[in-house]
Amino acid sequence: MENHVETPVTRKALVIGGGVAGIQAALDIADAGHEVFLVEKSPSIGGHMIQYSEVFPTLDCPQCILTPKMVEVGQHPKIKLLTYSEVAQVSGQMGHFTVRVKRKSPYVDWEKCTGCGECANVCPVEVYSEFERGIAKQKAIYKPFGQAVPAVFTVDKKGIAPCRAACPLQVNAQGYVALISQGRFTEALNLVREKTPFPGICGRICTHPCESQCLRGEMDMPLAINDLKRFVADQEKEPAADLTIASEREGKVAIIGAGPAGLMAAYELRKMGYQVTIFEALPAAGGMMRAGIPEYRLPRDILEKEVSLIQKMGVAIRFDTTIGEQVTLAALKDEFNTVFIAAGAHVSAKLGVEGEDLAGVKHGIDFLREVNLNGKSEVGERVVVVGGGNAAIDAARTAYRLGAKTVSIVYRRSREEMPAIPGEVIEAEGEGIKISYLTDPVRIVGENGRVRGIECLRTKLGPPDESGRRRSIPVEGSEFFLEADMIIPAIGQVPDVAFLGSEIRIGLKPGNRLEVDDTTLQTTADGIFAGGDVVTGPNTVIDALAAGRRAAISIDRYLRGESLTIDREDAGLPVSELKVDMAGISQQRRTDMPAVPPAQRTGNFREVALGLSEEEAIREAGRCLACPGCSECRSCEKVCEPKVIDHQMVERYEELEVGAIVLATGFELIPREAIAEFEPDPDILEGIQFERILCPGGSTAGVVMRPSDQKIPREVVFISCVGSRDPEHGVPYCSRVCCMYLVKMAMLHKHAVPDGQAYIFYMDVRSTGKGYEEFVQRAVEEDGVLYLRGRVSRVFRDGEKLKVCGVDTLSGKNVDISCDLVVLGLAMVSDPAGQELAQRLGIAIDEYGFITEVHPKLNPLETSVPGIYVAGTAQGPRDIPDSVAQASGAASKVLALFSTGEPVSGGVGPR
């Protein structure tokens, strides 16, 4: 086949893969004077070889022999190193390839990074280390290993943590949890404060949607994120919130209601520099947080401390001022530039049954408001609360504290449908409050105008209604009577909209709720915004806070005359698909806060939940799986002197023109799960993991310790052919290097643990390289390595030891060994990324993903695509000298092409 081209070949080469083969090929081509691009997917070159402790049969240290070559690559004027990059596309043909390379974002400007490592010192997040193969962790901003080339830092960031994305306020839960795990409480609190000025309040009463999304929940229990937030808030004795106001601005804002929505809007607007006045009907601030939520859940000093910050910023609150009475909405609209209505929902819904007006009937929110503002209220001896929401539970527990002898709750659906916070329900039960589910009140029975009891019906559950909860259906003839002298109906609240007046028309929705635009929160009246319960009906504090911020953003835009909708700052965070490998993580109980014993809760309103201790908080925070890697707490930014960290950096693409390509994409180990009869256990290691433990420069500084308990493993069993020569469970081929690397590790173990004993289960010893057989003999004769001829059927934990059940077919005996550590000689398989790349490039691969050479005997360096050559384990299992020799061979193919200046045809057979 003739192959003519018009133009001479591009005398530049691309080498893909920065392991020892790729390094050798790049250096050979560059030394011949041609430009080389070396693309590597991880942040540093070095490949697997740099992970090893020592290499057979010379026992050279790879750090000593490979590092000089790596440095040479880094400094070579003809080599352009593109690490943390992937080849996305190749077009053209031999002599003229165009290559599109994806440069992944390291979130660090590598040109300017000095590699000082200050960032990693302060990074609170620890993640899986690919280099250490899980034996040790690394920081979320990391340099893979000491001798890395280039010697720069990379941020491991896979997305946004689900906890943070789930928060309506986008509080960086992962970030503050990580900081708490390091004992850095002030920094943690500051991070919370970036998104909410109310950490102490939120840490107590937030319904924590973050925890429902926590990935840890998939393996045991979600992190106690909310309790941790409360913990850091409580650590602060004197509030040190940053109350700086941006320069004062024109614009006066009236806010109706000093509840969570109103306070949050006031905080945000005041920070921007606007003049804010809040009108509050009650004599104190807090809204439902004050009038509805009892003190034993939210102590008043905490509430006051955080609310007063808003006043300290210069927000005026006019108490005891009811709109529609002292001042009208229309008047506000005239005096202020905009109005934000956050009046809440403070009117109790009525049961609508006979007897609801009898003496002794007090509606839930009225009862709570009275107790919460005055500290007391009359209660009966036998109290029945009707309802299943938080107000019902709060009312019941409050009645208990005020001295009621018996308190019970009737709820018409079952526990599953109950909207109250489950933890609160459990606490209520602990206080002796009896809850009757599937019970619906029919009428309140009185005597002489006073309550005598309540008649109820049993119900059963039908199909779900529009709220998604199952409908309750009365059971005929199931009436029964509950004696009571006080009935508290607490079945919900609705907004009171009488204050709106008639001058300004504002659209309403069913349930007296104000109609607003979902994005901007503007009502049907221009310049009047609304949010919180007055819009949604009874809802959570966190949603009200989020509404306050949303309104503040709209109001700012409104006052500046900008679009209310385009590019809003409160667009939600993207939800990232994150997966965590839970295999190596052991279950760990969630740390519960201690609580005041139920017997000590009557007659007082002491806070029930007592908070975590410092030790508990640190332990609990340590349960975080750091699922996206970096938390974006931005601690690193603060210490980086050259200011090179950029958390917004995005990936980019580069185009290269080359004449030839060398594929050196390397290998991986077969997943251990393929051989399922070996129990997952921290002390059953894959070969590369044990290399890291043996390595003098590794995390254990060369002290050989086993992962489970850091004890020195004396008896170590090495198992050959795990997944290889096993077509039924793994791959049929021989993995070629395992015989040698296992005996090498057995020898190194003996050198490190002189009184130790190594055993190797083997099928055949394949020691075919120069000096290899002698090496094996030395291990047997000098280091006492015991070879046992046969496979192992299973390995399981037996107390402190691992039990290995194998066979020695030479003696015809089954052999059991109780040992401290097991090392698996897992089969080499093709690197999944390399395999995928080969497929994308249209290069022929075999059924195991290894690159198929043009001729197995006489043309081992050329792939099925002319101009693309292969080197190293991308072609099949082989050891280091073979890989290096092949790399030089591939380089010479490239050089031959470059020196003739015109493409030579590929083909089978020698030329």
Partner 1 sequence: MDLSYYPGCTLKTKAKGLEAPAVAAMAALGVNLVEISRWNCCGAVYSLADDDLAHHLAPVRNLIRVHEQGADKVSTLCSFCYNTLKRANQLVQRDEVKRRTLNDFMEEEKDYQGEVAVVHLLEVLRDDIGWDNISAKVKVPLQGLRVAPYYGCTLLRPQEIAIDRVERPAILHQLMEAIGAEVVDFPFSTECCGSFQIISNPDSVTQRAWDILSSALKRGAEALVLTCPLCYFNLGQRQAELKQKYIDFTGMPVFYFSQLLALALALDSRVCHLELNYADPLPLLEDKRLLV
Partner 2 sequence: MRIEISGQTFQSDFVKKVAEISGESVLSCNQCGKCSAGCPMAFAMDWLPNQIIRLVQLGIEEDIAKSKTPWICASCLTCSVRCPRGVDLGRLMEAVRLLTLRRNIDYVAAAKIPPDALGEMPQIALVGGFRKHTA
* Binding piece for partner 1, criterion CB under 8 A, among 172-180, 405-413, 767-775, 798-806: 798-806
From the list partner 1, partner 2, none, pick the one residue 796 interacts with, judged by a Cβ distance below 5 to 8 Å according to partner type: partner 1
Interaction between residue 794 and partner 1 (CB under 8 A): yes
Query: What is the closest distance, in whole angstroms, from the C-beta atom of residue 783 to partner 2 in the complex?
Result: 25
Burial of residue 52, with CB atoms counted within 10 A of its CB: 0-12 exposed, 13-18 middle, 19 or more buried: buried
Nearer to partner 1, 142 or 678 (CB): 678
725 binding partner (options partner 2, partner 1, none; Cβ < 5 to 8 Å by kind) = partner 2
Query: Which pair of tokens denotes residue 32?
Result: 């011949």
Smallest gap from Cβ 703 to partner 1, in A, equals 30
Q: By C-beta, is 227 or 417 nearer to partner 1?
A: 417
Q: Say whether residue 801 binds partner 1 (CB under 8 A).
A: no
DSSP states along 179-230: HHHTT-HHHHHHHHHTT-S-HHHHHHH---HHHHH-GGGGTS----HHHHHH
Rounded Cα gap, residues 345 and 303, in angstroms: 20
Answer for the pair 793, 767: CB distance below 8 angstroms, yes or no.
Answer: no
Q: Does 803 bind partner 1 (CB under 8 A)?
A: yes
Q: Which is nearer to partner 2, 487 or 807 (CB)?
A: 807
Q: Is 562 in the site for partner 1 (CB under 8 A)?
A: no
Taking the alpha carbons at both ends of the chain, their separation in whole angstroms is: 13
Six token digits for residue 330 = 């229309």
Site for partner 1 in 73-132 (CB under 8 A): none
Candidates 103-111, 746-754, 760-768, 789-797 — which segment interacts with partner 1 by CB under 8 A? 789-797
**Residues sharing a CB contact under 8 Å with residue 441, sequence separation 6 or more, in sequence order:** 351, 353, 386, 410, 454, 455, 456, 457, 489
Which region, judged by CB under 8 A, interacts with partner 1, from 153-161, 229-237, 431-439, 795-803? 795-803
Q: How far is the CB of 29 from partner 1 (least distance, A)?
A: 48
Q: Is 799 in the site for partner 1 (CB under 8 A)?
A: yes
Nearer to partner 2, 504 or 763 (CB): 763
If one asks whether residue 676 binds partner 1 (CB under 8 A), the answer comes out as yes
Q: Which does 793 bind (CB under 5 to 8 A by kind): partner 1, partner 2, none?
A: partner 2
Q: How far is the CB of 906 from partner 1 (least distance, A)?
A: 44
Nearer to partner 2, 618 or 827 (CB): 827
Pairwise CA distance, residues 50 & 556, whole Å: 56
Please report, to the nearest 10 degrees, the dihedral formed by the alpha carbons of residues 123, 126, 127, 133 taken in order. Answer: 120
Binding site partner of 807, from partner 1, partner 2, none, Cβ cut-off 5-8 A by kind: partner 2
Closest CB 766 distance from partner 2, rounded Å: 14
88's contact among partner 1, partner 2, none, with CB below 5 to 8 A by partner kind, is none
- Among partner 2, partner 1, none, residue 763 binds (CB under 5-8 Å by kind): partner 2
Residue 220 Cβ vs partner 1, minimum distance, rounded to whole Å: 13
Helices vs strands, H then E, count in the chain: 25, 39
Residues 6+ apart with CB under 8 A from 136: 129, 692, 698, 699, 700
Q: How far is the CB of 560 from partner 1 (least distance, A)?
A: 52
Q: Which does 798 bind (CB under 5 to 8 A by kind): partner 2, partner 1, none?
A: partner 1
Which lies closer to partner 2 via its Cβ, residue 95 or residue 730?
730
Nearest to 683 by CA among 820, 824, 803, 816: 820
CB of 815 to partner 2, least distance (A): 8
CB of 708 to partner 1, least distance (A): 16
Distance of CA 596 to the CA centre of its chain: 33
CB atoms closer than 10 angstroms to residue 33? 10
Binding positions for partner 1, 483-512, rule CB under 8 A: none
Return the number of the residue (717 or 890) whose C-beta is nearest partner 2.
Answer: 717
Between the alpha carbon of residue 103 and those of residues 37, 40, 43, the distances in Å are 13, 10, 11
Nearest-approach distance from CB 688 to partner 2, in angstroms: 23
Closest to partner 2 by CB, 638 vs 729, is 729
* Residue listed under structure tokens 């300017």: 112
Which residues are CB-neighbours of 373 under 8 A, at least 6 positions away? Answer: 282, 283, 284, 290, 291
One residue of 104, 469, 797, 855 binding partner 1 per CB under 8 A: 797
**Could you tell me the maximum CA-CA distance found in the chain, to the nearest angstrom?**
116
Distance of CA 901 to the CA centre of its chain: 53
Candidate list 709, 798, 800, 902; residue touching partner 1; CB under 8 A:
798
Of partner 1, partner 2, none, which one does residue 480 interact with (CB within 5 to 8 Å by kind)? none
CB of 722 to partner 2, least distance (A): 10
Q: Which is nearer to partner 1, 678 or 775 (CB)?
A: 678
CB of 736 to partner 2, least distance (A): 17
Helix extents (H) in 50-149? 62-75, 118-122
| Residue 679 lies near partner 1 (rule: CB under 8 A) | yes
Beta bridge partners of 454: 444, 482
Nearest to 548 by CA among 196, 34, 32, 136: 196
CA atoms of 476 and 546, how far apart (whole Å): 45
Q: Is 677 in the site for partner 1 (CB under 8 A)?
A: yes
Q: Which is nearer to partner 1, 470 or 855 (CB)?
A: 470
Among residues 20 and 792, whose Cβ is nearest to partner 2? 792
Residue with tokens 């009937």: 361
Residues that bind partner 2 (CB under 8 A): 677, 721, 725-730, 763, 789-794, 805-809, 812-815
Least distance between partner 2 and beta carbon 826 (Å): 14
Q: Which stretch binds partner 1 (CB under 8 A): 221-229, 275-283, 792-800, 885-893?
A: 792-800
Question: Measured from the CB of residue 717, what is the shortest distance to partner 2 in angstroms?
Answer: 13
Q: Is 218 in the site for partner 1 (CB under 8 A)?
A: no
Tokens 């039908």 sit at which residue?
A: 462
Which of 276, 271, 217 has its CA nearest to residue 244?
Answer: 271
Q: Could you say whether residue 480 binds partner 1 (CB under 8 A)?
A: no
Binding window for partner 1 (CB under 8 A); candidates: 383-391, 565-573, 767-775, 794-802: 794-802
Report how far apart, in Å, the C-alpha atoms of 70 and of each of 18, 785, 882 are. Answer: 9, 34, 19
Element of type H or E holding 899: helix 880-900
Going by C-alpha positions, the residue among 668, 842, 661 that lies closest to residue 25 is 661
- Residue 770: count other Cβ atoms within 10 Å of its Cβ: 9
User: Is the Cβ of residue 105 or residue 588 nearer to partner 1 in the bound state?
Assistant: 588
Judged by beta carbon, residue 526 or residue 816, the one nearer partner 1 is: 816
Query: Smallest distance from the beta carbon of 796 to partner 1, in angstroms?
Result: 4
Give exposure, 353-383, as e/b (b: 16+ Cβ within 10 Å).
bebeebebbbbbbbbbbbbbeeeebebbebb
Say if CB 665 and CB 838 are below 8 A apart.
yes
Closer Cβ to partner 1, 5 or 585, answer by number: 585
In the complex with partner 2, the residue whose CB is nearer, 283 or 727, is: 727
Q: Based on the shown chain and the rule CB under 8 A, indicate whether residue 796 belongs to the binding site for partner 1.
A: yes
469 binds partner 1 (CB under 8 A): no
| DSSP single-letter state for residue 600 | G
Nearer to partner 1, 319 or 796 (CB): 796
From the list 701, 885, 741, 902, the residue with the least C-alpha distance to 826 is 741
Residues that bind partner 1 (CB under 8 A): 676-677, 679, 794, 796-799, 803
